[in-house]
């Protein structure tokens, strides 16, 4: 038996771990495009359904007409009794919002209802209008109720909007009747204008009456305040505009500056003393700036440095008891004591300076307090006089403002000019503005597109099938071998123009992508040294028999001597694919009713022998596990380069797993975007349990436009050429 190099595959546990990460595949534009292309029917169906629903709703909705009247408002920023009138101020959005709320108020709407008789209109009053028309003892109650219902109906159909950032307002009313909509929009505009004029006149009248009484009271208050100021100045001898206590006030400034300087100096000295005391306590008094800069300290340290230099020379030349060395040590100790005494003297001087500065600051502080007390006593009379004068000035100013306000109120009372005017009346439209059927149609298309794409993406997220080489390797732990494209239409026509099976196209289209896929399988088989290949699939109808026949023919076209054995005795798929009727086949050879050399059939491709099943058979006898199949393969191994076994589906039929163990290797076929992952995983688990060698996974019936084909072969630019 030839040596077989077992293909690398993931362990069973690793495959399960990889399958758990199906939702973690990277999303690319290519994969997204492939998803949309795969599920285009869902997207088109959602678009058509939503578009039809939107158009149907648009034609079922009762048409409405929108009439718009435009007015310009001049809102009073303040009431006539305000003390100041703001003119030429920027746009006040709060005032505009107030006027909009006024137009949408229930009082304005009720006034329009009564003016136009909407309480009798069924569109706005509804059933209450019909009840009001019938009359009866409750006619008054019904009329009042119909008026309120119509008012609410008008408010629902009324819209008020500001045009950009301006004082121009658009008043819109929607109705089934275009003429009615225009009439109501104009009525609302004029009702608002009339209400502002009435409000302005009534307000001005009330303010003018109250202003006269207030003016008399303010006049008496102003006169009394002026008299009080004159009497107080006369009694205290204060001359208006004179200066009091100027000498004391002039002294306060210099004393305050001296006090601030003295306090700053005292604080600095206290800080230096505190720092010096901390440094002395820690034994580093040399860090004090006053100590470092003292000339005496500097000279002593110079002497000490010279003594240390001499001591170092003596120590280097002589012993420790050398007289000069001992004298140097004594000199250094004396210098250290002098330095410490000088440091103590300097630091004590710092303490004395700090105490002197504190005393100076305290004296200046007492002097400043005395000046302030004198100024307070001197200014008390002036402060009282100034307070009385301010009260008198305020009373006079209030009187003057009130006089101006009364004059404005009198003018407003005589004038009835409103605070708004009509810029544009509402006109009768010839076409309804609602519903906007084109917009609804476009919205339906967009909604359908969004729903369709969403459904496609959700379907992609929950899909449990295999559609790419990466999924074969990462989710199943198999080596990906190739992708076999699905042939349709003119690609399944032979040289004579007749429709044929996919395996029959290999002779007439030897360079197609379909042929190249099986050449890739042949290369894998040759590289691994496998001689007996079992072609297996998880479920029926995954292209197993067609793939086995196509692989056998490609090998034969390449010069190999090949035997294809149909082992699916329940279906006899190879017999149906070839359209032949053999007298004996696989079952007869295994039961010793026929000899292999006598029942094999030659294909139209030279070098390919076929062992078919004569007729679909179900037998309780285990044909492949009795030793007969192993003996058959041993006899055929010497006469053929490759033996291909067309096995039953791996799930549900035990013969497939038996044949997989008899073969040198198994190719697992996976139908593109069809075979469930759970089924493939169960089939692979059975093969691993039986110890079968899995060569790899092959995707069958792959969409030629899919990412699997583009990634495997060439770009989309050349795919059509290889599909000829």
Same domain, 49 and 85: no
Distance, CA of 155 to CA of 36 (rounded, Å):
47
423 CB burial (10 A radius; 0-12, 13-18, 19+): middle
Q: Does residue 640 belong to any structural domain of this protein? A: yes
Secondary structure of 555-615 as H, E, C letters: HHHCCCCEEEEECCCCCCHHHHHHCCCCCCCHHHHHCCCCCHHHHCEECCCCCEEEECCCC
Range name among 72-81, 149-158, 170-179, 272-281 with the lowest pLDDT average: 72-81
b/e map 299-328, b = 16+ CB within 10 Å:
ebeeebeebeeebeebeeeeeeeeeebeeb
pLDDT at 575 over 70: yes
Residues ≥6 apart with Cβ < 8 Å to 55: 437, 440, 441, 444
pLDDT at 555: 94
Q: Does residue 696 belong to any structural domain of this protein? A: yes
Q: Does residue 411 belong to any structural domain of this protein? A: no
- The SS3 of residue 449 is helix
Same domain, 549 and 651: yes
Model pLDDT for residues 41-73, shown as the tens digit of each residue = 888 988 999 989 988 888 888 888 999 999 998
Average of per-residue pLDDT across 526-531: 93
Tokens of 72: 């310009």
Dihedral pair phi/psi, residue 165, rounded to 5°: -105, 75
For 223, other C-beta atoms within 10 Å of its C-beta total: 14
pLDDT at 79: 44
Same domain, 263 and 369: yes
pLDDT at 533: 96
More confident residue, 317 or 88: 317
| Residue 127 Cα to chain centre, angstroms | 49
Same domain, 185 and 260: no
In this structure, what DSSP letter does residue 721 have? Answer: G
Model pLDDT for residues 345-401, shown as the tens digit of each residue = 777 777 787 778 788 878 878 777 776 776 665 556 666 667 767 777 787 787 777
pLDDT at 334: 83
Same domain, 111 and 148: yes
Model pLDDT for residues 539-558, shown as the tens digit of each residue = 998 989 999 999 999 999 99
Tokens of 330: 């004594």
Q: Does residue 224 belong to any structural domain of this protein? A: no
Percent of the chain as helix, strand, coil, to the nearest 5: 60, 10, 25
Same domain, 561 and 708: yes
Same domain, 41 and 88: no
Range name among 74-83, 515-524, 665-674 with the lowest pLDDT average: 74-83
Do 419 and 73 contact (CB within 8 A), yes or no? yes
Helices (H), 39-84: 40-60
Same domain, 252 and 336: yes
Same domain, 53 and 91: no
Q: Does residue 112 belong to any structural domain of this protein? A: yes
In this structure, what DSSP letter does residue 64 have? Answer: B
Same domain, 40 and 79: no
607 band by pLDDT with thresholds 50, 70 and 90: very high
Average of per-residue pLDDT across 149-169: 91
More confident residue, 459 or 673: 673
More confident residue, 547 or 505: 547
pLDDT, averaged across the chain:
78
Same domain, 106 and 196: yes
36 CB burial (10 A radius; 0-12, 13-18, 19+): middle
Q: Does residue 21 belong to any structural domain of this protein? A: no
Residues ≥6 apart with Cβ < 8 Å to 213: none
Q: Give the residue numbers spanning the domain of 277.
A: 246-392
Average of per-residue pLDDT across 416-420: 64
Q: Does residue 369 belong to any structural domain of this protein? A: yes
Reported pTM: 0.49
Residues ≥6 apart with Cβ < 8 Å to 709: 483, 485, 513, 702, 703, 719
Distance, CA of 450 to CA of 444 (rounded, Å):
10
Q: Does residue 108 belong to any structural domain of this protein? A: yes
Residues ≥6 apart with Cβ < 8 Å to 260: none
Same domain, 444 and 494: no
> Could you tell me the CATH number of the domain that includes residue 584?
3.40.50.300
The total number of structural domains that make up the chain? 4
């Amino acid at each position: 038996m030839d040596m077989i190099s077992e293909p690398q595959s993931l362990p069973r546990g690793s495959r399960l771990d990889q399958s758990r990460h199906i939702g973690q595949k990277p999303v690319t534009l290519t994969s997204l495009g492939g998803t949309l292309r795969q599920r285009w029917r869902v997207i088109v169906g959602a678009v058509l359904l939503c578009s039809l629903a939107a158009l149907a709703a648009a034609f079922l909705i009762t048409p409405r007409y929108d009439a718009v009247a435009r007015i310009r408002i001049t809102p009073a920023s303040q009431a006539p009794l305000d003390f100041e009138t703001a003119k030429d101020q920027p746009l006040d959005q709060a005032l505009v919002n107030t006027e909009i709320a006024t137009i949408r108020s229930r009082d304005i709407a009720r006034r329009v209802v009564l003016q136009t008789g909407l309480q009798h209109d069924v569109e706005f009053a509804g059933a209450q209008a019909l009840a009001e028309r019938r009359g009866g003892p409750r006619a008054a109650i019904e009329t009042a109720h119909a008026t309120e219902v119509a008012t609410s109906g008008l408010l629902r159909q009324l819209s008020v909007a500001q045009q950009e950032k301006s004082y121009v307002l658009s008043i819109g009313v929607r109705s089934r009747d275009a003429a009615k909509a225009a009439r109501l929009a104009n009525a609302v505009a004029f009702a608002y204008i009339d209400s502002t004029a009435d409000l302005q006149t009534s307000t001005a009248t009330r303010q003018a009456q109250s202003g006269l009484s207030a003016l008399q009271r303010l006049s008496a208050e102003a006169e009394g305040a002026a008299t009080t100021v004159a009497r107080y100045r006369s009694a205290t001898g204060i001359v208006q505009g004179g200066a009091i206590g100027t000498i004391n006030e002039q002294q306060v400034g210099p004393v305050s500056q001296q006090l601030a300087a003295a306090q700053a100096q005292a604080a600095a000295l206290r800080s230096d003393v505190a720092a010096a005391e901390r440094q002395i306590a820690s034994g580093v008094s040399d860090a004090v700036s006053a100590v470092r800069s003292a000339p005496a300290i500097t000279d002593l340290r110079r002497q000490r440095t010279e003594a240390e230099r001499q001591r170092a020379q003596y120590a280097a030349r002589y012993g420790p008891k050398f007289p000069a060395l001992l004298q140097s040590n004594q000199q250094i100790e004396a210098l250290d004591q002098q330095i410490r005494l000088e440091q103590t003297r300097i630091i004590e001087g710092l303490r004395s300076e700090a105490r002197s500065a504190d005393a100076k600051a305290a004296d200046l502080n007492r002097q400043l307090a005395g000046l302030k007390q004198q100024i307070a006593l001197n200014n008390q009379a002036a402060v009282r006089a100034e307070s009385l004068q301010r009260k008198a000035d305020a009373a006079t100013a209030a009187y003057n403002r009130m006089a101006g306000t009364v004059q404005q109120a009198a003018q407003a009372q005589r004038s009835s000019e409103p605070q708004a005017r009509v810029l544009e009346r509402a006109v009768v439209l010839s076409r309804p503005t609602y519903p906007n059927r084109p917009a609804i149609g476009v919205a339906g298309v967009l909604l359908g597109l969004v729903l369709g794409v969403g459904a496609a993406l959700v379907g992609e997220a929950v899909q449990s099938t295999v559609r790419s080489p990466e999924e074969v390797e990462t989710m199943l732990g198999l080596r990906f071998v190739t992708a076999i494209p699905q042939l349709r239409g003119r690609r399944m026509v032979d040289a004579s123009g007749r429709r044929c099976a996919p395996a029959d196209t290999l002779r007439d289209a030897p360079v197609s992508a379909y042929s190249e896929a099986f050449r890739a399988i042949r290369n894998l088989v040759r590289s691994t040294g496998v001689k007996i290949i079992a072609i297996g699939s998880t479920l029926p109808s995954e292209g197993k028999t067609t793939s086995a026949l196509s692989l056998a023919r490609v090998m034969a076209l390449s010069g190999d001597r090949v035997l294809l054995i149909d082992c699916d005795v329940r279906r006899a798929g190879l017999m149906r694919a070839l359209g032949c009727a053999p007298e004996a086949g696989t079952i007869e050879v295994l039961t010793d009713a026929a000899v292999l050399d006598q029942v094999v059939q030659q294909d139209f491709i030279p070098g390919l022998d076929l062992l078919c099943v004569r007729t679909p058979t179900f037998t309780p006898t285990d044909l492949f596990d009795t030793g007969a199949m192993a003996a058959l393969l041993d006899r055929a191994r010497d006469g053929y380069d490759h033996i291909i076994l067309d096995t039953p589906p791996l799930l549900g039929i035990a013969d497939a797993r038996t044949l997989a163990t008899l073969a040198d290797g198994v190719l697992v076929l996976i139908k593109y975007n069809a075979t469930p992952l759970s089924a493939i995983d169960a089939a692979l688990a059975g093969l691993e349990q039986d110890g079968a060698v899995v060569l790899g996974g092959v995707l069958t019936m792959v969409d030629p436009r899919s990412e699997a084909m583009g990634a495997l072969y060439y770009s989309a630019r050349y795919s059509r050429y290889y599909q000829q």
